[in-house]
Amino acid sequence: MADWGPLLTLTFLTTLLISGIRLAIPIFLAALGEIITERGGVLNLGLEGIMLAGALAGFMTAYAAEQSATPWLVGLAPWLGLGAGLIAGLLMGLIMAVLAVSLQTDQVVTSIMLVILGQGITTYVYRQQFSSLTARVTGMKPVPIPVLADLPLVGPVLFNHDLVTYGSLLLLAASLFFLYRTTWGLNIRAVGEHPAAAETSGVNVVAVRYGAVLLGAALTGLGGAVLTVAQLGIFNEGITAGRGWIAVALVIFARWRPERAFAGALLFGIATALQFRIQALNLEAIPYELLLMLPYVLTLLVLLQGGGRSVAPAALGRAYVKE
């Protein structure tokens, strides 16, 4: 008979929640980027490829910095890696913007091209650079907040994370202010709903869509870099393991709202953490294959729950032709 005792302890619950919050961050960043992009009326389904590009660029940059003989460069390695991931996402977004906004190609087809491009480039470059090496980077250590981190249960769960996790929570608040309290956010939402009316009001639709796509892709690339640089410390082929597609599904579940996207990402993070924790406990009563399926089964449930009642931006996926 299986021993379920280890699953019913406070220690297990605490470590599960800590890991769940950390694992939620890359998915949340990608989902937030896609929300901004789709609010601007552009459907970018290439998050998986963009995350991979950001993950590899971030890992290679952090690895190169750590291998250097310059102490200050070694100290900045994680931040340089995150910056490189953001820039890689930006470049992938530029390809999407040129093709989908300027050349008005089919946005679904262009997105799939980005996924294939990201998978192909990262596989080739990684094999060329690290084929015979077991490369790792140090990653980022938790920074406990004084006093608050010592609180029972909520202290380690909420106040003992790395700086990227704290920054992502601030980014959630900033995105809400940006989208709903600033002129730029209003312009993005207007272009996503009715671009012709926005143009009549003096909004440059092409410029706003470029900005939305680039900002969204940059956040997605950053999410990939967080995965390899701040959390796992390694890169391997296909390391994102479908997180980009999960982020796309989360946008529908979240109904294009950042706070709901964070809640959904947290759900997936906890599901993934539960999978890892149960595997570590080696409970034979729960099949390993079933645990691997858990995040993807949740994706299907999220789509079934949120898809029917979601109302997408009216101009989403439609090329804008100025009359």
**What pLDDT is attached to residue 277?**
76
**What pLDDT is attached to residue 4?**
61
In the predicted structure, residue 308 carries a pLDDT above the cut 80:
no
In the predicted structure, residue 319 carries a pLDDT above the cut 80:
yes
How many C-beta atoms lie closer than 10 Å to residue 60's C-beta?
Answer: 24
In the predicted structure, residue 296 carries a pLDDT above the cut 90:
no
Burial classification of residue 286, based on how many CB atoms lie within 10 Å of its CB (0-12 exposed, 13-18 middle, 19 or more buried) = middle
| Contacts for 8 with CB less than 8 Å, ≥ 6 apart | none
Q: How confident is the model at residue 1 (pLDDT cuts 50, 70, 90)?
A: low
What does pTM read for this prediction?
A: 0.92
In the predicted structure, residue 52 carries a pLDDT above the cut 60:
yes
**What pLDDT is attached to residue 309?**
63
Per-residue model confidence as pLDDT tens digits over 21-35: 999 999 999 999 999
Q: Where are the domains of the chain?
A: 26-135+148-245
Residue 44, H or E segment: none
Instruction: Work out the average pLDDT over 298-308.
Output: 68
> Tokens 């956010």 map to which residue?
185
Q: How confident is the model at residue 243 (pLDDT cuts 50, 70, 90)?
A: very high
How many C-beta atoms lie closer than 10 Å to residue 95's C-beta?
Answer: 18
Query: In whole angstroms, what is the distance from residue 215 CA to residue 221 CA?
Result: 10
Residue 160, H or E segment: strand 160-161
**Ramachandran region of residue 317, left (φ > 0), alpha (ψ -120 to 50) or beta?**
left
**Ramachandran region of residue 313, left (φ > 0), alpha (ψ -120 to 50) or beta?**
beta
With a pLDDT cut of 70, the percent of the chain lying above it is 91
Query: In whole angstroms, what is the distance from residue 205 CA to residue 207 CA?
Result: 6
Structure tokens belonging to residue 185? 């956010």
**What pLDDT is attached to residue 149?**
87
Residue 261, H or E segment: helix 258-281
134 vs 17, higher pLDDT: 17
Query: In whole angstroms, what is the distance from residue 18 CA to residue 280 CA?
Result: 16
**What pLDDT is attached to residue 10?**
79
**What pLDDT is attached to residue 283?**
66
- Is residue 78 within 8 A of residue 222, CB to CB? The reply is no
Q: How confident is the model at residue 275 (pLDDT cuts 50, 70, 90)?
A: confident
**What pLDDT is attached to residue 12?**
81
Per-residue model confidence as pLDDT tens digits over 135-192: 899 988 889 998 888 888 788 889 999 999 999 999 999 999 999 999 999 999 999 9
**What pLDDT is attached to residue 303?**
66
- Is residue 216 within 8 A of residue 200, CB to CB? The reply is no
Instruction: Work out the average pLDDT over 194-210.
Output: 94
Per-residue model confidence as pLDDT tens digits over 99-140: 999 999 999 999 999 999 999 999 999 999 887 667 899 988
Q: How confident is the model at residue 222 (pLDDT cuts 50, 70, 90)?
A: very high
Instruction: Work out the average pLDDT over 300-316.
Output: 75
- Is residue 205 within 8 A of residue 322, CB to CB? The reply is yes
* Residue 188 DSSP SS3: helix
Query: In whole angstroms, what is the distance from residue 93 CA to residue 51 CA?
Result: 11
State the number of CA atoms in the 13 A half-sphere of 216 facing the CB. Answer: 37
To the nearest 10 degrees (0 to 180), the angle between helices 10-39 and 47-67 is 120
Query: In whole angstroms, what is the distance from residue 116 CA to residue 254 CA?
Result: 26
CA 49, distance to chain mean position in Å, is 12
**What pLDDT is attached to residue 210?**
97
- Is residue 315 within 8 A of residue 107, CB to CB? The reply is no
Instruction: Work out the average pLDDT over 236-252.
Output: 91
